[in-house]
Amino acid sequence: MEFARKVWKVLVAVKDGLALMVLLMFFGLLYAALSARPGAAAVQEGALLLKLDGFVVEEPSAPDPLTLLMAQQAPVGEHRARDVVRALRTAAEDDRIKVVALDLSGFLGGGQVHLQDIGEAIDGVRKSGKKVFAFGIAYLDDAMLIAAHADEVWVDPQGGAFITGPGSSHLYYAGLLEKLKVKANVFRVGTFKSAVEPYMLSGPSEASRRADEALYGALWQTWQADFRKARPKVDIARVTRQTADWLAASGNDSAKAAKAAGMVDRIGTISDFNLRLREVAGEDPRDDSFASYAHTDMADWLAANPEDQHGKAIGVVTIAGEIVDGEAGPGVAGSERIVAALEDALADDDLAALVVRVDSPGGSLMASEHIRRALLRFKSRKVPIVVSMANLGASGGYWVSTPASRIFAEPGTITGSIGVFAVLPSFGEALGQLGVTEDGVKTTPLTGEPDIVGGFSPEMSAIMQARVESSYREFTSLVAKSRGISVARAPDWAEGRPWDGGSARQLGLVDQFGGLDDALAHAARLAKLEGGDWHARYIGEQPASGLGAILSRLGASAKAGAGGDFISAVAMRQDRLIARIEASLRRLVDGRGVQAMCVECPALGFAPSQPENGAGRSLLMLLLSATTG
C-alpha cells in the first residue's frame, strides 16, 4: 500500500510538471505571436482604427502579471496620449490610410490637455484631405471633446450625447471620524490647502470654495472654446441649462436630441458604422464577415511606424501620477525609479538637453525633493532643462519643476497648489470605548511620540507644525528663486491655491503656452541644435513586453463597451467614487510624511483611480482598522 501511494505521488508530480510545461509553452507562443514586430502585411490599405477602450493617460501603468492572472475581470485599458497623437499624425502623411475610425464606445475619459492634443491631431488628418469618423454610445464631455473634431460623429440609437461641464463634489469624513472617535491630527500651511479639509470639516471652507469656483470656471471656458471651434453650431447653453426641454423636443430620445443639437451627425449601430467605413476603406481581404472593412489597429500601426531616432538625443523624463517614495510605477511616480533612470541617463553623457514632462498632483515632499536633486545634477553639467506640464503640475509636481529654465503649460493645465500638509490619526478615544487603555513611564514630554493611541502631546504637535511651516518656507523660496518673483508676494501665488494655466502664466508660475513638442523645440534651441537634427529619447521608458503585456493586450478590449449607455457611464463613475473614498481613508491611516500634494486635482484634471476588485471590502477593512488601530 505504501508503494502504491509513492507511485501515485510520482504520477501526480509528473502530471503537474507536464501541465506547467504546456502552460509555459502556450504563453511563450502567445507572447511570440503578440510581440512580433508587424511587417508590411500587418498594415492594410484602408482605415486606421483607434479603439480607445478605457482611459487616455500620460503614462500607462505597468500591469502586474500575477494580479492579472488572479483578477476576476480584465483590467481597464490605458492608452498613452502621445501614442494616439503620433498614430494620427503619421496616418495623415501615409497614402495607405484613407480614413481614420475612432471607436469611442468603451472610452472612459482623459485629461483635458490630452484630449485637446488629440483633437488637434484629428484636425491635421482632416487637413490632409482624409475623413475621420467617430462612433460612440454614451458621449460625455471627454469623448465629446475628441469626437467633435471628426467629419462624421455616429451614435448608437440607444445612446446619446450630454455635456455636463467640469466640476466635482469632494468627500468629507469629519462626521464619520467623529462617530468612530478617531481624531485626525492636521498640520498645514496655506489658506487654500484644502487637502486636509475632508478630515476636519463637513463641507468646503469659503476660501476653498472660491478657489474651486474660479478654477472650474476657467477650465469650463477653455473646454467651451475648444468645442465651439470644432462644432460652432451647437447651442451649449441650451444643452446644459435647458436639458429637459431640449430632450422633450426630440421625444426624450437622447440620440435624436444629440443629432438635433449638432453634437452628432448620424444615428446607427456599430454594424451601420462599419458598413459606412467599408464604403470608404474597402473590404477586408482577411475577413469576409458581415460589416468588416479593411483596417489596421493602432498597436500594429505604431509598431510599423517607429519614432524617428536621427540626430542628437534630447531626454524626456516622465513624472506622472502621485509622487511616492520607492520604485513604484510607471503610472505612479516612484522617486527611486525616476532617480535611477535619470542617473543612468546622466552617466551616458550624450543628452543635449532634458525635458521634464509633468502630469502629477504631487505627493510625498521627500520623494519630490529626491527627484529635484537628480534634476539639479543635470543642471550642474550645463544640460538645459525645460518643463512641459500636461493636465497637472501641482504641489509636488511643481516642486520638481523648479530646476527648469522655462515652463510650458496649456490653458487647461492645473498647476500651483504651492503648500504642504501632514495628517496623522490618533485612536485613543476609539480604543477607550473598546476597553483599551494606555499608560507608562516617560522621561521627557516627547517619549513615545508621536502617540497615535493616546494622542499627540502639545510638544509633538508643535514640532509637526514647525516642520510643515519650514517645508512651506522652503517651497515658496524655491519657487521665488526659480521663477524670479518676490517671495514676499507668496500669498498672491501660493497659500496652496491651484491655478489654471492662464492664471499661472499671469502670475509668472508658467512661462508660455505650449505642449511637449514646443518644449522639445525650445530645449533644442537652448542646446543649439539647428535644423531639427535631434530626436526625443524617453528616459526610463521600457517597451511593453512579457506576460504582463500579453495579458494586458488580451484584456484591453475585454471591457469593450464599458462606457455602455448613459446609465452605465454613471455607474462607472460610482465605481470610481468608491475608489476615491478608499484612497482618502488610506491616506489618513497610512501615516505618510509631509505631503506636497493637490488632493483635489485628480477630480479637477485627470489622474484616474481605477477601483480594484473588492474595493468595497477594502473600504470596510479600512473603517475597521480605524476603530481597532
CATH code of residue 292:
3.90.226.10
Q: List, as one string, the DSSP characters of 442-453.
A: -SSTTTT-S-TT
615 in any annotated domain: no
pLDDT at residue 611, as a whole number: 41
Question: Which residues span the domain enclosing 513?
Answer: 312-532
Q: CA 372 to CA 403: how far, in whole Å?
A: 7
Per-residue burial over 391-415, b = 16 or more CB atoms within 10 Å of its CB, e = otherwise:
bbbbbbbbbbbbbbebbbbbbbbbb
The mean pLDDT value for 66-72 works out to 57
587 in any annotated domain: no
The mean pLDDT value for 148-175 works out to 90
Domain final position from 247, 279, 304: 304
Cell 504520477, located at residue? 11
pLDDT at residue 68, as a whole number: 57
Please identify every residue annotated as catalytic.
193, 395
The pLDDT-based confidence of 368 (bands split at 50, 70, 90) is very high
Do 325 and 370 belong to one domain?
Answer: yes
625 in any annotated domain: no
Do 321 and 293 belong to one domain?
Answer: no
Q: CA 10 to CA 18: how far, in whole Å?
A: 12
Do 517 and 438 belong to one domain?
Answer: yes
pLDDT at residue 362, as a whole number: 92
Parallel/antiparallel/unpaired status of strands 414-416 and 498-500: antiparallel
Enter the C-alpha cell of residue 9.
505521488
The residue with greater pLDDT, 561 or 92, is 92
The pLDDT-based confidence of 71 (bands split at 50, 70, 90) is low
Q: How far is CA 41 from CA 36, 44, 297, 300, 494, in A?
A: 13, 7, 13, 10, 56
Q: CA 246 to CA 5: how far, in whole Å?
A: 77
Do 156 and 253 belong to one domain?
Answer: yes
The pLDDT-based confidence of 21 (bands split at 50, 70, 90) is low
Enter the C-alpha cell of residue 248.
422633450
Q: Say whether pLDDT at 623 is over 60.
A: no
The residue with greater pLDDT, 558 or 498, is 498
pLDDT at residue 157, as a whole number: 95
Q: Say whether pLDDT at 1 is over 50.
A: yes
Do 76 and 143 belong to one domain?
Answer: yes
The pLDDT-based confidence of 421 (bands split at 50, 70, 90) is confident
Do 241 and 341 belong to one domain?
Answer: no
Q: Say whether pLDDT at 173 is over 70.
A: yes
pLDDT at residue 587, as a whole number: 62
Question: How many C-beta neighbours within 10 Å does residue 244 have?
Answer: 8
Q: CA 563 to CA 567: how far, in whole Å?
A: 9
317 in any annotated domain: yes
What backbone phi and psi angles, to 5 degrees, belong to 20?
Answer: -65, -40
- Number of domains making up the chain: 2
Question: Out of 163-172, 227-236, 413-422, 553-562, which region has the weakest mean confidence (pLDDT)?
Answer: 553-562
The residue with greater pLDDT, 585 or 348, is 348
Q: Say whether pLDDT at 108 is over 50.
A: yes
This prediction has a pTM of: 0.83
Do 263 and 138 belong to one domain?
Answer: yes
Do 390 and 283 belong to one domain?
Answer: no
pLDDT at residue 63, as a whole number: 66
Q: Say whether pLDDT at 262 is over 70.
A: yes
Domain final position from 275, 304, 333: 304
- Give the highest mean pLDDT range of 174-188, 337-351, 439-453: 337-351
The residue with greater pLDDT, 233 or 168, is 233
The pLDDT-based confidence of 291 (bands split at 50, 70, 90) is confident
Question: Out of 72-86, 150-164, 344-358, 531-545, which region has the weakest mean confidence (pLDDT)?
Answer: 531-545
Cell 448608437, located at residue? 156
pLDDT at residue 355, as a whole number: 98
Do 243 and 344 belong to one domain?
Answer: no
Q: pLDDT > 90: what percent of the chain?
A: 54
Question: Out of 27-31, 156-160, 178-182, which region has the weakest mean confidence (pLDDT)?
Answer: 27-31
Domain final position from 252, 274, 304: 304
Do 300 and 423 belong to one domain?
Answer: no
65 in any annotated domain: yes
Q: Say whether pLDDT at 605 is over 70.
A: no
60 in any annotated domain: yes
Q: Say whether pLDDT at 458 is over 90.
A: no
90 in any annotated domain: yes
Q: Is 171 within 8 Å of 580 (Cβ atoms)?
A: yes
What backbone phi and psi angles, to 5 degrees, belong to 102?
Answer: -105, 110
Question: Out of 293-302, 434-443, 573-582, which region has the weakest mean confidence (pLDDT)?
Answer: 573-582
Enter the C-alpha cell of residue 24.
509555459
152 in any annotated domain: yes
Q: Say whether pLDDT at 469 is over 60.
A: yes
Do 330 and 245 belong to one domain?
Answer: no
Residue 344 CB partners (closer than 8 Å, separation 6+): 539, 540
The pLDDT-based confidence of 420 (bands split at 50, 70, 90) is confident
Exposed / middle / buried, residue 132 (Cβ in 10 Å: 0-12, 13-18, 19+): buried
Do 339 and 460 belong to one domain?
Answer: yes
